[in-house]
């Protein structure tokens, strides 16, 4: 076995790991990154990026079908068709460009990438079974765990054959005629809506009484309306019991304990993700854990000195941009900078139809925290830009303290609201007050005017409602 040494060893080349490695390289820290599969991790290869590409393709196909039925815009087209194989090739092309770009950036900043699977020996030693060549033992001063997460598997309905995870759903060889989605969280609904727009019959089974159960009713109402418009069949307050005896569907139990069968060519299980903590010797470190995730402090330090953990392996929220921010911070702390990680303004986006964005505290969360807050919303039905793009469902809502008008949260639902998330996060990060946002001139006509109008409404003088 070959051996080498480095100052920083990163296990995992996903968004957190590769950003940490790039930043460390920029700071002159000798760095080795180990990745067993593809650079970019789940997000670039089988998560964030390919799912948004598939959602975009589904949106465009639905738009073409809408025009085939006639449109008030005066657009007429013949009945469109979808070539799912070409769609997947296009999606894979985007993924390839991005992962290739990550590799180039790592090389540019002097990071050594070892393609292979790591096994932790101790907090300073990792053995790597390289994909090519002989095994390598790497000695390091700092060990960074960025191993990500994996889909949760139902023990009575394991992945395989007709039962798929989001990974398989993003690379369909063919479109199923009937798809059952287990779980009405953001992953299940994003993909369920996309498959319905592509032409599949879709049914969603959710154990709770509502879709997107972690969001409040006001935010989810427009999404529920879209599901009904598209013809997605919802079975709320129901639980999946397993595959049907013939394997061509699932058995479902309702809240009243009645059982019924749902026919399905494919069953997408989307009941969440769990930290990837197995298969690479993590148990040898005897780290303190927080449930299934590695316990960290506000610098992403674990209970062992010079062992760090970022991203999904360190628990919720499992978001790529959180992992990136943590990775950048860890590299800077190792370089001697004074940094702390606080997640007060981490945006979370559901790319459903319409999109949903939450940043900071909701009205309910502010109240539970003991804050006396103002909550004010501005509807897109009163926004000129929303009217001109035929998308007036939804609103922007701001939450601010009553005493000093400090903004503590934003929520929005509507077409394209994911692009407003930067403004939301920045206002909280910079300590903005309602007066700051309300007094900022926003371009007209844009969806962003709803942000200004929400702040003005919180001050009691919205202009267009």
Nearby residues of 360 by Cβ (< 8 Å), 6 or more positions away: 344, 345, 399, 407, 408, 409, 410, 424, 428
Q: Residue 117: CA atoms inside 13 Å, Cβ hemisphere, count?
A: 5
pLDDT of the residue at 33: 98
| Lookup: tokens for 224 | 């529920």
pLDDT of the residue at 69: 76
Give the whole-angstrom CA distance, residue 241 versus residue 249: 11
pLDDT of the residue at 161: 87
Give the whole-angstrom CA distance, residue 121 versus residue 464: 64
pLDDT of the residue at 43: 92
378 and 414 Cβ atoms separated by less than 8 Å: no
Give the whole-angstrom CA distance, residue 68 versus residue 75: 8
Give the whole-angstrom CA distance, residue 239 versus residue 9: 43
pLDDT of the residue at 116: 96
Domains in the chain, please, with CATH?
A: 2-46+88-151+274-334 (3.50.50.60), 163-270 (3.50.50.60), 348-458 (3.30.390.30)
End-to-end CA distance of the chain: 71
Which amino acids are annotated catalytic?
444
Give the whole-angstrom CA distance, residue 171 versus residue 195: 12
Give the whole-angstrom CA distance, residue 463 versus residue 453: 7
User: Per the omega criterion (within 30 degrees of 0), is the bond before 145 cis?
Assistant: no
- What separation in angstroms does the CA of 120 have from each of 34, 138, 150, 281, 285? 12, 10, 19, 5, 8
| Lookup: tokens for 252 | 């479902």
User: Per the omega criterion (within 30 degrees of 0), is the bond before 164 cis?
Assistant: no
Among the residues of 161-252, which ranges form H helices? 166-169, 186-197, 217-230
Kindly report the pTM of this predicted structure. Answer: 0.94
pLDDT per residue of the chain (465 residues) written in tens, 0 to 9: 899 999 999 999 999 999 999 999 999 999 999 999 999 999 999 999 999 999 999 999 999 988 887 788 888 888 899 999 999 999 999 999 999 999 999 999 999 999 999 999 999 999 999 988 899 999 999 999 999 999 999 999 999 989 999 999 999 999 999 999 999 999 999 999 999 999 999 999 999 999 999 999 999 999 999 999 999 999 999 999 999 988 889 999 998 888 999 999 999 999 999 999 999 999 999 999 999 999 999 999 999 999 999 999 999 999 999 999 999 999 999 999 999 998 889 999 999 999 999 999 999 999 999 999 999 999 999 999 999 999 999 999 999 999 999 999 999 999 999 999 999 999 999 999 999 999 999 999 999 999 999 999 999 999 999
Give the whole-angstrom CA distance, residue 92 versus residue 88: 6
pLDDT of the residue at 245: 84
pLDDT of the residue at 89: 96
Give the whole-angstrom CA distance, residue 392 versus residue 329: 40
């Amino acid at each position: 076995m070959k051996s080498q040494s480095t100052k920083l060893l990163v296990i995992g080349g996903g968004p957190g790991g590769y950003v940490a490695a790039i930043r460390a390289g920029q700071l002159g820290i000798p760095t080795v990154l180990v990745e067993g599969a593809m650079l970019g991790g789940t997000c670039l290869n089988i998560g964030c990026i390919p799912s948004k590409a598939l959602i975009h393709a589904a949106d465009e196909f639905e738009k073409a079908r809408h025009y085939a039925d006639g449109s008030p815009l005066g657009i007429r087209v013949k009945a469109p068709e979808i070539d799912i194989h070409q769609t997947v090739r296009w999606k894979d092309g985007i993924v390839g460009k991005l992962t290739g770009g990550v590799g180039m950036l790592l090389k540019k900043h002097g990071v050594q990438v070892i393609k292979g699977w790591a096994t932790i020996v101790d907090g300073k030693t990792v053995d790597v079974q390289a994909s090519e060549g002989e095994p390598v033992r790497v000695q390091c001063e700092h060990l960074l765990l960025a191993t990500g997460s994996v889909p949760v598997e139902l023990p009575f309905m394991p992945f395989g054959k007709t039962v798929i995870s989001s990974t398989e759903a993003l690379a369909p060889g063919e479109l199923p005629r009937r798809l059952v989605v287990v779980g009405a969280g953001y992953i299940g609904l994003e993909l369920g809506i996309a498959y319905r727009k592509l032409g599949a019959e879709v049914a969603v089974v959710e154990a709770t009484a509502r879709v997107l159960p972690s969001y409040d009713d006001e935010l989810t109402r427009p999404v529920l309306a879209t599901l009904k418009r598209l013809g997605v069949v919802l079975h709320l307050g129901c639980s999946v019991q397993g595959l049907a005896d013939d394997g061509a569907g699932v058995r479902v139990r309702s809240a009243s304990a009645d059982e019924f069968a749902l026919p399905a060519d494919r069953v997408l299980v989307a009941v969440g993700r769990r930290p990837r903590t197995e298969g690479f010797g993590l148990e040898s470190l005897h780290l303190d854990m927080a449930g299934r995730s590695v316990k960290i402090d506000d610098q992403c330090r674990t209970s062992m000195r010079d062992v760090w953990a970022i991203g999904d392996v360190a628990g919720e929220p499992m978001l790529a941009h959180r992992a990136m921010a943590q990775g950048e911070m860890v590299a800077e702390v190792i370089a001697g900078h004074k940094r702390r990680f606080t997640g007060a303004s981490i945006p979370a986006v559901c790319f459903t139809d319409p999109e949903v964005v939450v940043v900071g505290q909701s009205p309910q969360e502010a109240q539970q925290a003991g804050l006396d807050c103002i909550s004010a919303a501005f509807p897109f039905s009163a926004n000129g830009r929303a009217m001109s793009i035929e998308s007036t469902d939804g609103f922007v809502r701001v939450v601010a303290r009553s005493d000093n008008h400090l903004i503590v949260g934003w929520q929005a639902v509507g077409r394209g609201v994911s692009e407003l998330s930067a403004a939301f996060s920045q206002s909280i990060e910079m300590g903005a007050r309602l007066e700051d946002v309300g007094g900022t001139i926003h371009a007209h006509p844009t969806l962003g005017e709803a942000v200004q109008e929400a702040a003005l409404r919180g001050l009691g003088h919205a202009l267009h409602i």
